[in-house]
Structure 1
Amino acid sequence: MTDRKHTIRAAVAAHLIETGLTGHGIRALARAANTSDRMLIYYFGSKEELLRESLMLVVKGLSMQLDQELGNERQRSADLLEKLTVVCQRPDWRPMTNLWFEIVGLAARGNAPYQPVACEIADAFIDWIASHLIDAERHQAADVFAHLEGRMLLAVIGR
């Protein structure tokens, strides 16, 4: 990947975390990346691919941040869930939480490209969780993800 393409993707990812997904045409994304809409299409082929790659960059960054904060030691599912709950409910994580629930809402309504992107993001986090669980509990990764997501949703709505 070229440095310019990575810079654009990173700028769009930061913009999406800050502002969310709705109401952003290709020109607004180009402005956020300090480039033209034509260059976005040149590098990514479509707005959908730009969004997918930018959102997956967010996921990669969050996974790296979780690795730094929680380490790579394998844990029991209940312990990992508690630690993830504390991290993901911090105020500095709220923009990512809001972005995730926006993606899920758009995916639920069938808005392209969010359904496949939501699946790709969920799969990435379930894989991350599985890699941090003890072997006997790796099969519980999707359950841990679902419990964490439920806790995050309750926090977002003030419960």
Structure 2
Amino acid sequence: MDQPQTAVATDRRQELLERIVDHVLEHGIARVTLRGLAAAVGSNNRMLLYYFDSLEALIVTALQASEHRFTGMTSLFGGFADASVPIGRRIRVAWATIADPDNRPFHRLFFEIFGLAGFERERFAELLGVIGTEWVDNVAGAYRAAGIGAQDAEVLAHETVALWRGFQATLLSLEDDAVVARAADPAMDALVARVEAAATRS
């Protein structure tokens, strides 16, 4: 008897999560309250807390789930780790994926939640930990595999992620892809040159 009930609960949680993702991608989270979100997705406070524990946990879960709506973002670091492709090419492809207009709704939600977490660090400590390490760890691992020493790989990984995120924010603020591309393309070329030079030295 327990197994079917568990399956039903899992299905119900996933159904609610999909509705929540729909809502926050369209409306953001700046004015989200548990009561308002419950009403928007046809549920109630008690059920949302049962499935997601807290509003903070729900917001983080929604951000993670929303990424799966954008296939380029979910496959980003799988491609970046492909050692059969020159590392410079991987950097440029990764940036092209991030800059794809189809991924813009995810970036809007990411930066909104990131900004909120910056003001309320204790509430979102887990999220900030993931944001601070996940991309950098993936990039640094690819750089080490390309032959770059561990210390240089970490420094270059931080630079790479900072560059990507800076231009992500610029895309959102300007909404002019051509202007951003004119700035981003030479910046990526300069980064690629430094990464390739570091790989050659090692």
1:31 is matched with 39
Say which of 7, 10, 15 aligns to 1:7: 15
2:158 to 142, 147, 159: 142
User: Whole-Å Cα distance in 1 between the matches of residues 143 and 40 of structure 2?
Assistant: 38
Q: Residue 19 of structure 1 corresponds to which residue in structure 2? A: 27
CA contact under 8 A between 1:80 and 1:133: conserved in structure 2? no
Give the RMSD, CA atoms, in angstroms: 2.9
1:14 deviates by 2.8
| Whole-angstrom distance in 2 between the partners of 1:13 and 1:121 | 19
Greater RCO structure (CA 8 Å; 6+ sep): 1
Three-state SS of the structure 2 residue aligned to 1:157 is helix
Closer, same or farther: CA 19–9 of 1 in aligned 2, 3 Å: same
Give the direction of change, closer, same or farther, for the CA distance of 1:111–1:72 in structure 2 (3 Å limit). Answer: closer
**CA contact 2:34–2:45 (8 Å) conserved in 1:** yes
1:45 is aligned to 2:53: yes
Aligned counterparts of 1:77 and 1:152: Cα–Cα separation in 2:
21
Task: Report the residue type matching 1:149 in the other structure.
Answer: R
Residue 121 of structure 1: aligned partner: 131
Aligned residues: 158
SS at match of 1:23: coil
Q: What do residues 79-101 of structure 1 show as CA deviations (whole Å, max 9, x unaligned)? A: 33322222222222111111122
8 Å Cα contact 2:95/2:164 also seen in 1: yes
SS in 1 for 2:43: coil
Instruction: State the alpha-carbon separation in 2 of the partners of residues 91 and 56 from structure 1.
Output: 19
CA distance, structure 2, for counterparts of residue 71 and residue 80 of structure 1: 6
Using the size of structure 1 for normalisation, the TM-score is: 0.77
Structure 2: 5+ residue stretches without partners? 1-8, 175-179, 181-202
Query: Where in structure 2 are the equivalents of 1:104-115 lying within 5 Å?
Result: 104-110=114-120, 113-115=123-125
Within the alignment, does 1:84 sit opposite 2:94 as a pair?
A: yes
Distance 1:130 1:6, change over 3 A: farther
Give ranges in structure 1 of 5+ residues lacking alignment.
none
Amino acid at match of 1:20: G
Contact 1:12 1:33 in 2 (8 A): yes
Match of 2:74 among 64, 72, 92: 64
Answer yes or no: is the 8 Å Cα contact 2:135–2:161 preserved in 1.
yes
Between 30-39 and 43-52, report the one with greater CA deviation. Answer: 30-39
* Corresponding residue number in structure 1 for 2:189: none
Q: In 1, are the aligned partners of 2:80 and 2:90 still within 8 Å (CA)?
A: no
1:154 partner letter = T
- CA–CA separation in structure 1 for the residues paired with 2:120 and 2:52: 22
1:43 & 1:73 partners in 2: Cα distance?
A: 37
Greater shift, 131-140 or 89-98, is seen at 131-140
Deviates more, 1:102-111 or 1:44-53: 102-111
What TM-score do you get using the length of structure 2 for normalisation? 0.63
